[in-house]
């Protein structure tokens, strides 16, 4: 299979949503373990951070956005599903320039310019980082976390 850069990124965003769904299913089955609140906060943060980056790319205001939102699991999943569709629409856009620079300011107001493809890869890696934190909290509670490594997604496809 010979994929171009956009197709590879689309596959990574499919993987990201799959990984989020795997973690969600596990969390839904184990709502009462010691660190469940922290795990739900990490899960909601994945959605909050994705929305932050999507808005930065689209040059939309961030004033009303919480990067660490207090979503429950259902609300976070719905937000992630909406964002997943938005990422796919962005990646399927004819005008998308993966090598183009996006200008934005970080949370401290410092201005930056970052290549679009780097931002998109960051979104995927950031989600995997927090899913791993959730997996660690699950293991600490003697709960077997789901396998969310990319290779498991590939095998499930």
Sign of the CA dihedral 64, 70, 74, 76? positive
- Asked if residue 30 belongs to a known ligand binding site, the reply is no
CA atoms within 13 Å, Cβ hemisphere of 41: 7
- Asked if residue 45 belongs to a known ligand binding site, the reply is yes
- 112 strand-pairing partners: 104
Three-state secondary structure along 82-148?
HHHHHHHHHHHCCCCCCCCEEEEECCCCCEEEEEHHHHHHHHHHHHHHHHHHHHHHHHHCCCCCCCC
Cα gap 125→108, rounded to integer Å: 22
Contacts of 3 (CB under 8 A, 6+ apart): 11
Q: Which residues are annotated as a binding site?
A: 45, 126, 130
In the annotated binding site for a divalent metal cation, the residues are 45, 126, 130
């Amino acid at each position: 299979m010979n994929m171009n850069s956009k197709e590879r990124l689309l596959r990574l965003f499919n993987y990201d949503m799959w990984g989020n769904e795997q973690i969600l299913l596990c969390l839904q089955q184990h709502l009462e373990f010691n660190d469940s609140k922290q795990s739900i906060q990490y899960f909601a943060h994945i959605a909050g951070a994705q929305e932050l980056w999507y808005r930065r790319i689209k040059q939309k205001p961030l004033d009303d956005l919480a990067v660490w939102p207090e979503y429950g699991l259902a609300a976070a999943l719905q937000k992630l599903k909406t964002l997943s569709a938005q990422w796919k629409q962005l990646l399927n856009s004819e005008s998308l320039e993966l090598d183009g620079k996006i200008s934005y300011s970080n949370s401290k107001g410092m201005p930056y310019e970052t290549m679009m493809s780097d931002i998109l890869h960051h979104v995927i890696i950031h989600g995997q980082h927090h899913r791993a934190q959730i997996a660690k909290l699950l293991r600490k509670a003697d709960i077997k976390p789901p396998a969310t490594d990319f290779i498991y997604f590939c095998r499930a496809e």
